[in-house]
Amino acid sequence: MRINYGVPEHKKLRVIINTDAKNEADDQYAIVHALLTPKFDIRGIIAAHFGKLRFGTVPVENSMEDSFNEINKVLDLMDLKEKVPVNKGAEQGLKDEATPQISDGARLIVEEALKKDEQNPLFVIFLGPITDLASAYLMEPEIQDKVTAIWIGGGQYPDGGFEFNLSNDINAANVVLKSNIELWQIPVNAYRLIRTSLAELEHKVKPHGEIGNYLFEQLAELNNDPSWPLPFGESWCLGDSPAVSLMIDDHKSAYRELSAPRITSDMKYVHYQKERKIRVYDYVDPRFTLDDMFSKISVNFPLEKVQ
């Protein structure tokens, strides 16, 4: 880690990353950003499913396995293979709100949450569906006061509506919302603020080592894929990155404490109670998020020309 500052041990966080890494092209950026952040003690990465369709259009046989392979590819390009544990999460969403999808990923969350003598708080970030947290809680409810979850997902408040990550496991979202797990939700209107251009990524990411080149090329390839449904063309939403930047700085003026809703089958919010509160973000600073990531990539992977 090529940095000229230190992070005091008592200010570090234990972190588990839960990612549907092969669904799109932004998870990879968030994974790299997290791995390069000195404040984080990464305890593991969990491969998440993303349903039966990649980015909602292309059929896949086992999306969790695809995510697992993609995580390992990113780690290999960063020379971190075998240095960061990678666990498989659930292969599909919860069938109901009472039955967990038992997996190594869910077991990792339980194990890390219940560890004794740990002084640093545990954060688990979810860049896709929240299946593995709901499963961990159903397996061991005692974890609910021992973990903070940050979830990229859900529609805009107060009404809700379709959102891809939520669509892949509404039951899991309701399990977590009913629990007492500390939840920071970054809904679609907040995570879509993290806008960048392909020109910026080519200039600030691509030249920095094998991982920089891969981050850019896999995004550019998806941008040219006719099955990719979003007509950005020359821009991108790095919508998973807020989960990383909010652990670095939690943007105290950018969220509201709201009563946790229940979510209907069409992903609308039902506001039915006032006791259970969650943190809902309305804003995440794009400059802070992107500049921190670009800086860490450039420092750790010195500039080199990639053909």
Query: Mean pLDDT across the stretch 24-35?
Result: 97
Q: pTM of the entire structure?
A: 0.96
CATH classification for the domain delimited by 12-300, as one of 3.90.245.10, 2.70.70.10, 3.60.15.10, 3.40.50.720: 3.90.245.10
The two three-digit tokens of residue 179, written as one number: 């629990």
- Model confidence at 238: pLDDT above 90: yes
Q: Is residue 49 very low, low, confident or very high in pLDDT (cuts 50, 70, 90)?
A: very high
pLDDT tens digits for 121-154? Answer: 999 999 999 999 999 999 999 999 999 999 999 9
**Closest by Cα among 290, 286, 261, 288 to 185:** 261
pLDDT tens digits for 216-235? Answer: 999 999 999 888 877 789 99
Within 10 Å of residue 264's Cβ, how many Cβ atoms? Answer: 12
**Closest by Cα among 222, 219, 165 to 188:** 165
pLDDT value at residue 223 = 92
**What value does the CA radius of gyration of the chain take, rounded to a whole number of Å?**
18
Query: Mean pLDDT across the stretch 249-256?
Result: 97
- Model confidence at 304: pLDDT above 70: no
Query: Mean pLDDT across the stretch 14-18?
Result: 98
- What is the C-alpha to C-alpha distance for residues 148 and 124, in angstroms, rounded to an integer? 6
Domain ranges in the chain?
12-300
Contacts of 8 (CB under 8 A, 6+ apart): none
Q: Is residue 306 very low, low, confident or very high in pLDDT (cuts 50, 70, 90)?
A: very low
